[in-house]
Every structure is written in structure tokens, then in C-alpha cells.
Structure 1
């Protein structure tokens, strides 16, 4: 089963945005690293949103 970590790394591979700056949301819940996508009820063709957290500086 795929993990949140795997999905973040896949997004990084396509967008070149660093994993550490990505937050993933599904149905209003933030996805935690180390969890399975199935833990959140995420299936094929589910819509997961990502937010890029910018560092202040």
C-alpha cells in the first residue's frame, strides 16, 4: 500500500517542490507522514490537495 511519504515524494518528483515544504490535505484533514493513504480512505481517483509552506526570511 502507498504511504503519505510516497505521495509527497512523487509530487516532489513532478513539481521539484521539497517534501519538507508540502502539506497534503484530504477531506479537510492533514495527512501525516508514515501513514498509509488507505488510513484516510484515499482510493484511486481521490482528490488530494497540497499546500506549499513557505519559509519566512
Structure 2
């Protein structure tokens, strides 16, 4: 089972505020295209109270 908090380093990356589903999908596709070959992957997202969406990113050690 994938456990990003024990087997990998995680970082948080600001994505944007008030994104539409299409904008989020475009960001996600671009991230995966540019970073997945380098060992980065999206673990999840969280939203701050000011509507800023944060991506939780894991990198293989």
C-alpha cells in the first residue's frame, strides 16, 4: 500500500484560488506531464480558508 508519509518526502505546492474543474484538470495534467518522470506525484489536495488550493506532492526518496 502506498504510504507517502513514511516512504517519501512530501511538499505542498500552491495551485491557485477559485479554480474551475477544467483549470484544475489542466494544472494536474501539466504537472503530471512535467514532473511524473522525475519521481513526483500528486498525493492529494487541501483548500485553505482563503480559497487557495494546495497540492500535496510526494517525491520518491
Higher strand residue share = 2
TM surpasses 0.5: no
Question: Which one scores higher on RCO, CA 8 angstroms, separation ≥ 6?
Answer: 2
Please, what TM-score do these two structures have when normalized by structure 1? 0.33
